[in-house]
Amino acid sequence: MKTISTALAILLTPGFAGIAPAQTVGAAPVRLVPAVGATNATKNLDLLAGKRVMILGDSITQDGTYVSYLEYFLTKSHPDKSFDIINVGLASETASGLSEQGHAGGAFPRPCIHERLQRALDAVKPQVVVACYGMNDGIYQAYSAANMQAFVDGISKLAATCKAAGAQVILVTPPIFEGGDYDQVLGKFAEWEVTHPPKGVVAVADLHTAMNAARAERQKADPKYRFTGDNVHPGPLGHLVMAQAILQGLGISMPRGTAEELQEAARADALFTLVCQHRSNRSNGWLNYIGYTRERTVAPKTGNIEAVETAAREIQAKIDAMKQTSGNRK
C-alpha cells in the first residue's frame, strides 16, 4: 500500500534529529517526529515501558477506547515489558482555556486542563504525560490568530508544568474533524505541534495527518466513508486507528494487520476485555480523585483511590498471567 504524503509543510526546529520516512501498517500511514532523547523505536518504547504514564485529553480521550487499544497492543507486542497507564481525559476540556458562547446550552464553560493539571501531577506522579488536545481548542470557529495563540500558549504551559514536575511530555496532534472547514484549524494546530514542540516535549505523534490519510485510503472504496457519526467522536474503528497511528508515530512495534483485522482479533481476545476493564476502572477512580470542574465540581480526593488501585492490581495479575501464554505472544 502506498503511503499518503502529508499535506503539511513539515519543517524542523533546532535540536531535532530529523524526520523518519512515513510508515504504513495496514491502512494508517504516519510520520514519526522524533525529538532529542527519543530518536528511535527502542528509546520511544522505553519512554512508556516500566514508567507511570498519564494520558490527558478531552471527551475522545475520556471515552478511553483508543487508550485501551494502546495498552492492549503494547501488551501483545511486548509481553516482557510492563505498562502503567492512567487515563484521566475529561470531556469538553481544552488546553487553550477558550470556550464558545453558549457552550452546553449555557450550562457551563469548557473546562481547562490547567485548572487540574498540577493536582493531577501531584496525585498520579507520572514520569511521562501523553497529551492529546486541539479538537475543542479552536471552539469550532474559523481560524483566528488569537485562538491559535491561545492553543500555543496552553500547550506550552502544559509542557512547562509537566517538565517542572519531572515528567516528560509526548504530544499527540488532534484527531480529525469530519464536518467541514474546521479541520483546517486542527491541521494548523497539528502543524505547530510537529514543527515547534515546546521545551519538555520529547516526541510528537502526528495523529491528525495519519487519521486523514487512513480515511482517504478507505474513501477510495467508499467516497462517503467517515470515522465519526457526529464529526468529532470516532467510533470503535476510529479509536483503533488512533492507537495504531500513535504507536506507529512513535516507531513502536505492534501486531501487524489492517485496523479492521486488528479490531476483529481484539474483540475475540479475552486479554482485550481485561485491559478495557483495567483502563476504565482506573480512569474513573483517578479522575474523581484528582477532582475537576465541568457541569459540576468534584472535589479533590473524592472516592477511595486505594480500593481502585487494589482492584487494578488484581486485574493486572490476570493480564500478566494471560500474556505469558503462547497465544498472546507476538
Residue 156 pLDDT class (50, 70, 90 cuts): very high
In contact, 93 and 113? CB cutoff 8 Å:
yes
Q: Write out the three cell numbers for 88.
A: 484521566
pTM exceeds 0.85 for this model: yes
The 10s digit of each residue's pLDDT in 124-151 is 999 999 999 999 999 999 999 999 999 9
Number of domains, the chain: 1
Q: Write out the three cell numbers for 159.
A: 509542557
Q: Is residue 268 part of a domain?
A: yes
Q: Is residue 8 part of a domain?
A: no
Specify whether the backbone of 121 is left (phi greater than 0), alpha (psi in -120 to 50) or beta: alpha
Beta-bridge mates of residue 204:
33, 171
Q: What is the pLDDT of residue 41?
A: 59
Q: What is the pLDDT of residue 42?
A: 66
Give long-range contacts, CB 8 A cutoff, 24+ apart: 310-316: 311/281, 312/278, 312/281, 312/282, 315/274, 315/277, 315/278, 315/281, 316/278
CA gap 284, 143 in Å, rounded = 34
Does the structure show a pLDDT above 80 at 244?
yes
Does the structure show a pLDDT above 60 at 17?
no
Q: Is residue 249 part of a domain?
A: yes
Does the structure show a pLDDT above 90 at 18?
no
The 10s digit of each residue's pLDDT in 34-74 is 433 334 556 789 999 999 999 999 999 999 999 999 999 99
Q: State the SS3 of the chain.
A: CCCCCCCCCCCCCCCCCCCCCCECCCCCCECEEECCCCCCHHHHHHHHCCCEEEEEECHHHHHCHHHHHHHHHHHHHCCCCCCEEEECCCCCCECCCCCCCCHHHHCCCCCEHHHCHHHHHHHHCCCEEEEECCCCCCCCCCCCHHHHHHHHHHHHHHHHHHHHCCCEEEEECCCCCCCCCHHHHHHHHHHHHHHCCCCCEEEEECHHHHHHHHHHHHHCCCCCCCCECCCCCECHHHHHHHHHHHHHHCCCCCCCCCHHHHHHHHHCCHHHHHHHHHHHHHHHHHHHHHCEECCCEECCCCCCHHHHHHHHHHHHHHHHHHHCCHHHCC
Does the structure show a pLDDT above 70 at 289?
yes
What mean pLDDT do residues 193-198 have? 96
Closest CA to 253 of 19, 25, 4: 25
In contact, 308 and 286? CB cutoff 8 Å:
yes
Q: What is the pLDDT of residue 39?
A: 43
What mean pLDDT do residues 279-294 have? 98
Q: What is the pLDDT of residue 327?
A: 45
Q: Is residue 101 part of a domain?
A: yes
Q: What is the CATH number of the domain that holds 314?
A: 3.40.50.1110
CA gap 279, 86 in Å, rounded = 7
Residue 324 pLDDT class (50, 70, 90 cuts): confident
Q: Is residue 227 part of a domain?
A: yes
Q: What is the pLDDT of residue 40?
A: 52
What mean pLDDT do residues 91-98 have? 98
Does the structure show a pLDDT above 60 at 20?
no
What angle do helix axes 65-77 and 305-323 make, rounded to 10 degrees?
40
What range does the domain containing 254 cover? 32-324
Q: Is residue 165 part of a domain?
A: yes
Residue 254 pLDDT class (50, 70, 90 cuts): confident
Q: What is the pLDDT of residue 267?
A: 96
What mean pLDDT do residues 312-322 have? 96
Q: How many CA atoms lie within 13 A of 112 on its CB side?
A: 18
Q: Is residue 70 part of a domain?
A: yes
Beta-bridge mates of residue 297:
293
Q: Is residue 152 part of a domain?
A: yes
The 10s digit of each residue's pLDDT in 82-91 is 999 999 999 9
What angle do helix axes 236-249 and 259-267 make, rounded to 10 degrees?
110
Closest CA to 196 of 68, 320, 12: 12
Does the structure show a pLDDT above 70 at 268?
yes
CA gap 172, 204 in Å, rounded = 6
Query: Which percentage of the chain shows pLDDT scores above 70?
Result: 86
